[in-house]
C-alpha cells in the first residue's frame, strides 16, 4: 500500500517502518524515529531549562557586577578620604612643629627678660643697699630728682609690660599647640576608622568578586551545555530529515511500481482478478450462497493482537481507505469477525499492490481485508471465526515497512474501521 501522510508525522508514528525495510539514513538503524524525537524533545526541554537558568544567572551577574561597581566606588572614596586625612595630619604636624618653635622662642624671650631683671638686681646689690628713696634723695636738683623718678617708673612698667606680653604669648601659643595636637589626634582616629572601612570594603569586594566568578563559571558551563545540546539537536534533525528523504524516495519508487503494476493489470484481459477498477473501488463481494454471516450487527475485534500503534489512519492521506497498524514482522493476524474467506491471495489482483492478503465476507453488509501479509494461513472458501489466525504481518506489496493494512467494506464501499473497533 502506498502512503502519502505528512512525512514527519508518519515517520514519528511508526517505530519500524523505516528501520525494518533497510532504509537506514545516517545512524537511524540504531534507534527508532520515536526515540530520536523523544531525545529531541528532551534536549529541547533541557535547553529551555538551561536558558531559564542562564537568564537567572545573567540577572545575578548583573546584580553582582552592579554591587561590585558600587563597592569599587566606595573604596575609591574611602581611599581619597584616607589620602586627604594623611595630608591633614602632615599639615597639622607642621603646625605643631611651628607652634612648638614659637613657644620655645617665647620662653627664651621671657628668660632673657628675667635675666635682665637679675642683672639689674645684682648691680643694685653690688652698689650697696640703696633704696629707691636714697636714689631719689641723692639727686642734686629737682630736675635730676624728677628724671630719676621717671626713669625708675619707666623701667618697672616696661619690665612688667614685657613680662605680661611674653606670658600672654606663651599661653596663647601653648593653647594653639594643644588645640592642634587635639585636632591631629582626631584626624589620626579618623584615619584609623577610614582604613578599617577600606579593609571592610576590600573584603566585601573580594567576596563579591569570588561570587561573580562563580556565577560566570556557571554561565559558561550552561552555555557550553546548551551548545552541546544544540549540536545534538542538529544531529537528530539531520537523522530525521535523512529518514524523511529516504522514505520519500521509497514511496516515489513504490508509486512508480504501483503505476507500472496498474498499467500491466489494465492491459490484461478482463479476468476475474480485475474485478476492481483503478480508481480504488473495492471488489464487489457477493454473499455466500449458504447465507452465512447474515444479520445486521457487526462488532469486529482488533485484528492484530498485542499491537496498538496505528501507523496511518483511514484517509490519513488522499486515497488511503484503510487503517495501517504497525507491529513486528510476523505478528499473527486474526479474523476480526466470523465469516467466509472470499480471497486468500499471494498476489495483488486489484492493482493496489496489496500482494499477500485475505478478504473475508461476514454478512450481507460487511467484509474485511487484511493486506501486506508475509504469509497466508487460510484458503479461499474456508469459514473462520473471530480470532482465528488467518496470516502473519509482513511487508509484501507496495510498502515502506511491515504493517497490516486493514479495510472494512460496507455494502461494497470502504469505510473507516475505527468506528467499529
Sign of the torsion angle spanned by Cα atoms 283, 289, 291, 292: negative
Mean local confidence (pLDDT), 156-184: 80
Q: What is the pLDDT of residue 241?
A: 75
Q: What is the pLDDT of residue 53?
A: 92
> Using CB atoms within 10 A of its CB, is residue 17 exposed (0-12), middle (13-18) or buried (19+)?
buried
Nearest C-alpha neighbor of 414 from the set 382, 378, 355, 371: 371
99-129 burial: b if 16+ Cβ within 10 Å, else e:
beebbeebeebbeebeeeeeeeeeeeeeeee
Is pLDDT above 70 for 13? no
| pLDDT band per the 50, 70, 90 thresholds, residue 103 | confident
> Rounded to whole angstroms, how far apart are CA atoms 313 and 301?
17
| pLDDT band per the 50, 70, 90 thresholds, residue 31 | low
Q: What is the pLDDT of residue 84?
A: 92
| pLDDT band per the 50, 70, 90 thresholds, residue 155 | low
Is pLDDT above 90 for 335? yes
Cβ(359)–Cβ(406) below 8 Å: no
Q: What is the pLDDT of residue 311?
A: 76
Is pLDDT above 50 for 368? yes
Supply φ then ψ for residue 183, to 5 degrees.
Answer: -65, -40
Mean local confidence (pLDDT), 298-317: 87
| pLDDT band per the 50, 70, 90 thresholds, residue 213 | very high
pLDDT digits (tens, 9 = 90+) for 45-88: 998 999 999 999 999 999 989 998 999 999 999 999 999 988 98
pLDDT digits (tens, 9 = 90+) for 111-129: 787 777 667 656 655 654 4
| pLDDT band per the 50, 70, 90 thresholds, residue 270 | very low
Mean local confidence (pLDDT), 24-43: 62
Q: What is the pLDDT of residue 401?
A: 84
Q: What is the pLDDT of residue 59?
A: 93
Cell triple for 149: 623718678
Domain boundaries, the chain: 15-267, 283-419
User: CATH topology of 15-267 equal to that of 283-419?
Assistant: no
> Rounded to whole angstroms, how far apart are CA atoms 338 and 390?
12
Mean local confidence (pLDDT), 199-226: 92
* More confident: 277 or 326: 326
> Rounded to whole angstroms, how far apart are CA atoms 282 and 269?
19
Can you name the CATH fold of 283-419?
Glucose Permease (Domain IIA) (2.70.70)
pLDDT digits (tens, 9 = 90+) for 378-404: 998 899 999 999 999 998 888 888 899
CATH, domain range 15-267? 1.10.287
Nearest C-alpha neighbor of 345 from the set 384, 381, 379: 379
Amino acid at each position: 500500500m502506498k502512503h502519502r501522510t505528512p512525512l514527519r508525522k508518519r515517520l514519528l508514528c511508526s517505530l519500524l517502518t523505516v528501520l525494518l525495510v533497510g532504509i537506514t539514513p545516517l545512524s537511524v538503524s540504531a534507534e527508532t524515529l520515536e526515540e530520536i524525537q523523544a531525545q529531541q524533545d528532551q534536549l529541547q526541554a533541557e535547553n529551555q531549562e538551561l536558558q531559564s537558568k542562564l537568564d537567572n544567572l545573567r540577572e545575578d551577574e548583573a546584580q553582582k557586577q552592579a554591587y561590585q561597581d558600587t563597592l569599587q566606588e566606595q573604596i575609591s572614596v574611602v581611599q581619597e578620604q584616607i589620602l586627604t586625612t594623611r595630608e591633614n595630619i602632615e599639615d597639622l604636624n607642621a603646625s605643631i612643629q611651628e607652634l612648638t618653635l614659637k613657644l620655645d622662642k617665647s620662653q627664651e624671650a621671657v628668660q632673657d627678660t628675667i635675666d635682665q631683671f637679675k642683672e639689674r638686681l645684682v648691680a643694685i646689690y653690688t652698689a650697696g643697699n640703696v633704696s629707691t628713696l636714697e636714689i631719689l634723695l641723692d639727686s642734686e636738683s629737682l630736675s635730676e630728682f624728677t628724671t630719676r623718678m621717671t626713669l625708675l617708673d619707666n623701667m618697672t612698667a616696661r619690665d612688667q609690660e614685657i613680662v605680661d606680653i611674653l606670658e600672654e604669648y606663651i599661653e596663647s601659643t601653648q593653647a594653639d599647640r594643644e588645640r592642634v595636637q587635639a585636632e591631629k589626634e582626631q584626624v589620626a582616629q579618623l584615619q584609623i576608622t577610614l582604613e578599617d572601612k577600606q579593609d571592610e570594603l576590600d573584603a566585601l569586594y573580594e567576596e563579591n568578586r569570588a561570587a561573580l566568578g562563580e556565577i560566570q563559571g556557571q554561565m559558561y558551563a550552561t552555555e557550553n551545555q546548551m551548545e552541546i545540546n544544540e549540536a545534538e539537536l542538529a544531529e537528530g534533525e539531520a537523522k530525521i530529515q535523512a529518514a524523511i528523504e529516504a522514505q520519500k524516495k521509497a514511496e516515489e519508487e513504490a508509486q512508480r511500481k504501483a503505476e507500472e503494476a496498474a498499467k500491466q493489470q489494465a492491459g490484461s484481459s478482463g479476468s476475474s482478478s480485475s474485478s476492481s477498477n483503478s480508481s480504488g473501488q473495492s471488489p464487489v463481494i457477493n454473499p455466500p450462497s449458504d447465507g452465512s454471516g447474515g444479520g445486521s450487527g457487526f462488532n469486529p475485534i482488533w485484528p492484530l493482537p498485542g499491537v496498538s500503534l496505528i501507523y496511518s489512519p483511514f484517509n490519513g492521506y488522499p486515497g488511503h481507505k484503510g487503517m495501517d497498524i504497525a507491529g513486528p514482522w510476523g505478528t499473527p493476524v486474526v479474523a476480526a469477525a466470523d465469516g467466509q474467506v472470499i480471497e486468500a491471495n499471494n498476489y495483488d489482483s486489484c492493482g493496489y499492490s496489496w500482494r499477500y492478503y485475505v478478504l473475508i465476507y461476514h454478512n450481507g453488509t460487511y467484509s474485511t481485508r487484511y493486506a501486506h501479509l508475509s504469509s497466508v494461513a487460510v484458503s479461499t472458501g474456508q469459514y473462520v471465526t473471530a480470532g482465528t489466525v488467518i496470516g502473519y504481518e509482513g511487508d509484501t506489496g507496495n510498502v515502506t515497512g511491515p504493517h497490516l493494512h486493514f479495510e472494512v467494506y460496507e455494502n461494497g464501499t470502504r469505510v473507516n474501521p475505527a468506528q467499529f473497533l
